[in-house]
Amino acid sequence: MGAGGVTVKEEEQVEAAEPVTNRSESASAARPRHLARLRAPHRPKLWFELLLIAVSYGVYSLIRNAAPESIDAAQRHARWIWDIQGHLSLDFELAVNHAVAGITWLIVPMNYYYATLHFVVTIGVLIWLFRYHPGRYGATRLVLFATTGVALLGYYFFPLAPPRLMAGMDFIDTAAVHRTWGSLSNQGTAMADVSNQYAAMPSMHIGWSLWCGITVAVLARPLWLRILGALYPALTLLVIVATANHFWLDAVGGAICLAFGYLVARLWFGRWCYRLPRQVPEPELAPSAARPS
């Protein structure tokens, strides 16, 4: 019998229970710290980013191209979009397409713009962020990834024929007419055969170009570069309409997806991605590694 009427056995049980409680409290305290570390800006690793981008784009392409290609539904949706724009008196795509399609020196560069800059400029902005804004890179990259991820829902549940493929309309498929390299319009090519041409809503040409344009306009220092950033999505909108690859409402869908991407990054990091610190401090050495031998 111990002091105060507590047996020795009971004392041992209390002592044995205390480390378990302490371990539980330590684990509970460690979880928020671990989560905080995940949410804190950190220096990106090149090999990881290359692997992540390659895998993510592969998954995105696989899911996008695996979305149901219901041509009847895609045509119905295209007619529905066209009618809505007509009721708004904003069905200007056909007029723009016909006005530009006959100007060879203008439409051919637009075709190549549509086929290539979508990737080139986006990759270029990612590299620029990685090199000069490492503290903002992770959050800004998350915006792009979340934007692209939510767009897959549109491709899967809302197949949409682009204007150039609309039945009963006389849109000019400018890439097919001029045999533009890398175009989805060139039937029988490897790219056209593996790509879902009825995944037009939302437009990631607009989603990605807006992401690039906003990022450059906010973070770049030279005025001329900021102006180019602001003009890039506007020029992309002109291109996707003139080449009959998208309705302007597809562009609205891309902008909505981008807004979702910014919201995801804001909730995860607790701040807008562009307000995070530009640089990330070097990781501190562990005490054992910091002591000279």
**pTM of the predicted structure, to 2 decimals:** 0.80
Residue 79: pLDDT band with limits 50, 70, 90: very high
Strand partners, 199: 160
User: What's the 3-state SS for 13-49?
Assistant: HHHHHHHHHHHHHHHHHHHHHHHHHHHCCCCCCHHHH
Nearest in space to 162 (alpha carbons), one of 66, 82, 64, 256: 82
- pLDDT tier for residue 205 given thresholds of 50, 70 and 90: very high
CA–CA gap between residue 162 and residue 191 (Å, rounded): 17
* Cα separation values, 110 from 42, 180, 220, 277, Å: 39, 10, 26, 37
| Alpha helix ranges (H) inside the chain | 8-39, 46-66, 71-87, 93-101, 104-112, 118-132, 134-157, 174-178, 190-194, 204-219, 223-242, 248-269, 287-290
pLDDT at 243: 96
- Residue 245's φ and ψ, nearest 5 degrees, are -95, -20
Least confident of 149-158, 201-210, 247-256, 281-290: 281-290
**Would the pLDDT of 88 be above 90?**
yes
Nearest to 171 by CA among 112, 92, 237, 235: 92
The predicted-structure confidence for 147-167, as pLDDT tens digits, reads as follows: 999 999 999 899 999 999 999
pLDDT at position 197 is 86
Q: What is the pLDDT of residue 180?
A: 81
Q: How many residues comprise the chain?
A: 293
Question: Rounded distance, CA 250 to CA 255, Å?
Answer: 9
Whole-angstrom distance, CA of residue 10 vs CA of residue 1? 9
Confidence band of 47 (pLDDT split at 50, 70, 90): confident
What pLDDT is stored for residue 221 in this prediction?
94
* Region 216-231 average pLDDT: 97
pLDDT band (50, 70, 90) for residue 63: confident
Q: Token pair of 179, please?
A: 């045999």
